[in-house]
Amino acid sequence: TVEDGVRTFQLTAGQGTTSFLGIGDAETWGFNGAFLGPTLRAERGERVAFEIDNQLPEATSVHWHGMHLPAAMDGGPHQMIEQGETWRSTWTIDQPASTLWYHPHPHGETEKHVYLGLAGMFILDDDASLAADLPSEYGVDDLPLIVQDKEFDNSGRLALNDDGSEPGTLGDTVMVNGTVGAYQEVTTEQVRLRLLNGSTARTYTFEMPDRPMTLISTDGGFLDAPVEMDQVRLAPGERAEVVVSFDAGETVRLHSSKTDLGGIVVPATSGGNDEFDVLEFRAAATLTPSSEPSWPQAKDAVADELHEDEASVTRDFVLNTREINGEQMDMNRIDEVVHVGATEVWEVRSTQPIPHSFHIHDVQFRVLSIDGREPPPELAGPKDTIYLNPNLTYRLLVRFEDYADPTMPYMYHCHMLLHEDEGMMGQFVVI
Ligand code: C2O
Ligand code: CU
Ligand code: CU
């Protein structure tokens, strides 16, 4: 509802039962329902307000992943909602059109809460995205796709592997928006897919047979120019918007193939050895012609250009065995102090032979280089989460625009949620 210019949302986190096709009933958690949560949507410049009611059997929190907002509104581990309590969060949307998401962030329990079903998409629009000629009819030719893998035990319950083994739970059942074996009817020549890797540990390499996927947007907004991709790889927490074309009457599958890491041998630790069909598209016998897509102009879409020559500080982050820079997360320790308005370079590296998925709250960064080389075009847009190939240095350019608050930290962490829960997280304040 919109009142006095504030767009207000009510969310209730609770337990329920979900029937998974071919598997049976399982206890799940969700927002305003048994599993997952509603897609939230707002426009740049709007003020949003949330009332979140916790009807779960334990405390949780709700974090706005990818959102630029005050730390006290961020929904991280310092904004816990006790059982039966309500938490209010409000801010003004001030960032480009993008596909963001929301999920719990209770320290040590995030993997479980997300795995049981607490997650949803948060779509932002702006003048440029509304003016662009892109498939944009929600649920018809503009599809939110939350991709997750689950494991079911013999009695059909959602099973979380909690023995601490790498990389956390890798399920053998892949679902889209909570549906196993999902299909989607296609009625238009072109369809926009908003892909979210909402898995707790698995990395996907998406592809579609016989056609490119035109990548238009990454985590935090549109690319300067669309890029035709054969494969789109997403680590946990990452998003991508792609436009794909269909022929009348055809049936095609979105597939996740084995992950080719360019010669780097990574074992099954991020699910890279597995292949899945993710979603089947069934195109109608006649399709509504789509007009030639027009892309938002980069100068409109990307409001705040980042400039490397303005960077005043370089910080190093080394990820290894549940630690960042040799330390595990401590709720009472501030790891980094950043000055409001500063542009910085964050150099991030996994020194283990396994990949990680590095995420920074509050900001969208630019990848300057990967081991000294220019990032590929698909990593040249705004990002808040990035797949870290082992032993490569990722130089990220970050600007901490506003919202100084010396009393409340933001998080940075690995988005493989077992890693995060077990300590691969740190805290920064903006002062
Ligand atoms: Cu998507 Cu700190 O999280
Ligand atoms: Cu986040
Ligand atoms: Cu990790």
- Which ligand has the shortest distance to the CA of 74? 2
78 lines ligand 1 (CB under 6 A): no
Higher per-residue confidence, 114 vs 225: 114
- Per-residue pLDDT, averaged over 251-267, amounts to 73
On whether residue 20 sits in a domain, the answer given is: yes
CATH of the domain at 82: 2.60.40.420
Q: Are residues 169 and 78 part of one domain?
A: no
User: Residues of the chain with pLDDT > 90: what percent?
Assistant: 81
Q: Decide if pLDDT at 299 tops 90.
A: no
Q: Is the pLDDT of residue 361 over 90?
A: yes
| Cβ atoms within 10 Å of 60's Cβ, excluding its own | 25
pLDDT over 80 at 80, yes or no: yes
Q: Please indicate, yes or no, whether residues 278 and 304 belong to a single structural domain of this protein.
A: no
Q: Which residues of 355-373 are buried (b: 16+ CB within 10 A; e: fewer)?
A: bbbbbbbbbbbbbbbbeee
In a domain, 104, yes or no: yes
What would the pLDDT profile of 238-249 be if each residue is shown by its tens digit? 999 999 999 999
Is 423 within the bounds of a domain? yes
Kindly tell me if the per-residue pLDDT of 289 is higher than 50. Answer: yes
Q: What is the DSSP string of 284-350?
A: EEEEEPPPPP-PPPHHHH--S---GGGEEEEEEEEEETTEETTB---TT---EEE-TT-EEEEEEEE
- Structural domain that includes position 242: 142-288
Q: Is the CB of 356 under 6 A from ligand 1?
A: no
List all residues 6 or more positions away from 222 whose beta carbon is below 8 Å from its beta carbon: 96, 97, 128, 129, 216, 295, 296, 298, 301, 302, 381
Does ipTM top 0.90?
A: yes
Q: Are residues 87 and 153 in the same domain?
A: no
Same-domain status, 161 and 270: yes
Give the environment of ion ligand 3: residues with CB less than 5 A.
356, 414, 416, 419
- Specify the pLDDT at position 292: 81
pLDDT value for 297: 66
State mean pLDDT over 219-230: 94
Instruction: For residues 212 and 126, state if they share a domain.
Output: no
Residue 319 class from Cβ within 10 Å (0-12 exposed, 13-18 middle, 19+ buried)? buried
Same domain, 47 and 81: yes
Q: Whose C-alpha lies nearest to ligand 1, atom 1?
A: 65
For residues 153 and 46, membership in a common domain is answered with no
Q: What is the pLDDT of residue 302?
A: 47
Question: Is 354 among the domain residues?
Answer: yes
- Give residue 234 CA to ligand 1 midpoint distance, Å: 15
Same domain, 154 and 29: no
Is any ligand 1 atom within 6 A of the Cβ of residue 411? Answer: yes
User: Could you list which residues have their CB under 5 Å from ion ligand 2?
Assistant: 65, 361
Is residue 293 a part of any domain in this protein? no
Report angle CA 317, 322, 323 to the nearest 5 degrees.
Answer: 35
* Closest ligand to the CA of 239: 1
pLDDT score at 350:
94
Structurally, how many domains does the chain consist of? 3
Do 173 and 125 lie in a common domain?
no
Whole-model pTM over 0.80: yes
- Cβ contact 427:334 at 8 Å: yes
My answer on whether 103 and 202 are in the same domain is: no
Write the residue with the smallest CA distance to atom 3 of ligand 1: 65
pLDDT of residue 260: 63
